[in-house]
Amino acid sequence: MENRATPAPQSVSTSSIATPSAAARQRPNPVRKIIHIDMDAFFASVEQLDDPSLKGKPVVVGGDPHSRGVVAAASYEARVFGVRSAMPMSQAMRLCPDLIRVPSRIGRYIEFSRRILEVLRRTTPQVEMASLDEAYLDVSDSPAPVAEIAARLKSEILQETGLTATAGAGPCKLVAKIASDTGKPDGLVVVKPSRVRGFLSPLPVARLWGVGPVTEGKLKALGIRTIGDLARAHEDVLISRLGPSGAMLARLARGQDDRAVVSSRKTRSISCERTLPEDTRDILALDHLIDRFAADLSQSLRDEGLSARTVVLKLRYSDFSSITRSRTLGVAFDEASVIAAEARRLMGRTGAGRRRVRLLGITVQGLIGSDEPFQRPLFPP
C-alpha cells in the first residue's frame, strides 16, 4: 500500500439507477484499476472558497438551530469539536459556540459537481458519480500507473475548482472507497492487489458496506470485530446468523467486489422534504409548503428534461411515526399545479389536521425523458 499525502433546510434530492456500459460489461482484464475521488468537506469548502473570510474557521452548512435544522456538511475546523453531518444543528452549536452556520446553496454545489465531472471525464468516460461530491473511475485500460492518474486528477481538480479532493485506488470499488476514507483530507492512498487482505484486515467491520449497527451487533456476538475476523469466519455460520447477506459480507471482507463502474445513470425520482419549525395541525401551513415543494420539483423536472407519472406524499407525525401515500396518473406531467393538486389529494387520506405533523415531503417518481412516448395531460386536474 502506498500512502501519498499532498500538502497539507429544505432539501431537494435525486435518486438514480445505473446501467453498465458495454465496455464495463465486456472488459476481459481480470485486474482492474479503480479510483475513488471524494471531495473534502465539499459543501463547507465551497462556502469557504466563495467567502475567503470563512477560511480556517469552523463552518457548517445546514438549517436553523431554532427550527430543528441539521448539519449538512462541516468543515474540518468544525470537526475538531466533534461536529458531524446529520447532527442536529442545536447540538453542533453547543459543541462549538464559535460555529459559523451558512444556509445550503444546492445550486452552487451542483455547479461545482458538474465542473468536477468534466475534469474526470477527460481521463476516462468510465466515471460513475456516486453523489455530488464523490465518483468512481475505472482506468483499467490506461497503461499509466494508477497512483500517477489519481495524483493528476487531484491536481487538475484543485487547479480548476480551487477545492481539494482525496483519492483512493485499488482493484475494486470497495477497496478504493475505503482507501479514500483513510486518506482524508487531501490525501492519496493506493492499495495494490497483493496488499488488499492486509489493508482490510485490521479495520473494524463497520467499514464494510451493509454493516450497520444491527449487523455489527450480531457480528460482535460471534466474536467478529475486524474485517480480518470476518474474512476468517466460516461462511455457513454467517449465513445462519445473517441470512444471504452473510455470504456477501464474507466476500467483501476478502476484498472480492466485482461491481462495475457504471457511467450511464438514469434519474428515477426527485424529492423535497422539510422538518417543520414546530409540529402543526395547520392545514394552510402544510398547503403553503406543498406549493413551494411543487414549484421546486417542477423546476427540477424541467431542468432535467423529465416528466413524472407518480406523486408520493410523506408525513411524519409528532410521535415520529411516518406514513406515505402515492398515486400514479395515467398521464405524464411536470406542472407544479398537477404535483400540488395530487399532494393535497393524498394529504386528505392522512391524519393531517387531526394529528400534529413534524415533517412533510413530496417525491415524484416514474420519470421519463422528453424523447420517450407517453401521453401528457390536456388539462391539469
Structurally, the chain folds into a number of domains equal to 4
How many CB atoms are located within 10 Å of the residue 256 CB? 14
Size (the chain), residues: 381
**Is residue 38 situated within a structural domain?**
yes
CA 212 – CA 101 distance, rounded (Å): 30
Whether 127 and 227 share a structural domain: no
Q: What is the DSSP string of 333-349?
A: E--HHHHHHHHHHHHTT
**Is residue 19 situated within a structural domain?**
no
Whether 122 and 166 share a structural domain: yes
Q: Which residue positions in the chain have pLDDT lower than 70?
A: 1-30, 67, 264-267, 370-381
Whether 205 and 321 share a structural domain: no
How many CA atoms lie less than 13 Å away from 194 in the CB half-sphere?
Answer: 1
Q: For 266-314, write each residue's pLDDT tens digit.
A: 667 888 888 887 889 999 989 999 998 999 899 888 877 889 999 999 9
Whether 271 and 364 share a structural domain: yes
| pTM score | 0.68
Whether 169 and 123 share a structural domain: yes
Give the pLDDT score at 265: 58
Q: For 175-217, write each residue's pLDDT tens digit.
A: 999 999 999 999 999 999 999 999 999 999 999 988 888 889 9
Buried b (16+ CB within 10 A) or exposed e, 200-223: bbebebebbeebeeebbeebeeee
Long-range contacts of 242-245 (CB under 8 A, 24+ apart): 242/215, 242/218, 245/210, 245/215
Q: What is the CATH number of the domain that holds 230?
A: 1.10.150.20
Q: What is the CATH number of the domain that holds 298?
A: 3.30.1490.100
**Is residue 18 situated within a structural domain?**
no
CA 261 – CA 107 distance, rounded (Å): 26
Give the pLDDT score at 7: 36
Contacts of 215 (CB under 8 A, 6+ apart): 242, 245, 249
Give the pLDDT score at 243: 87
Active-site position among 134, 156, 273, 342: 134
Whether 241 and 207 share a structural domain: yes
Q: Which domain holds residue 37?
A: 2-6+31-42+107-197
How many CA atoms lie less than 13 Å away from 254 in the CB half-sphere?
Answer: 12
Question: Catalytic annotation on 134?
Answer: yes
**Is residue 142 situated within a structural domain?**
yes
Phi, psi (deg, nearest 5) at residue 149: -65, -45
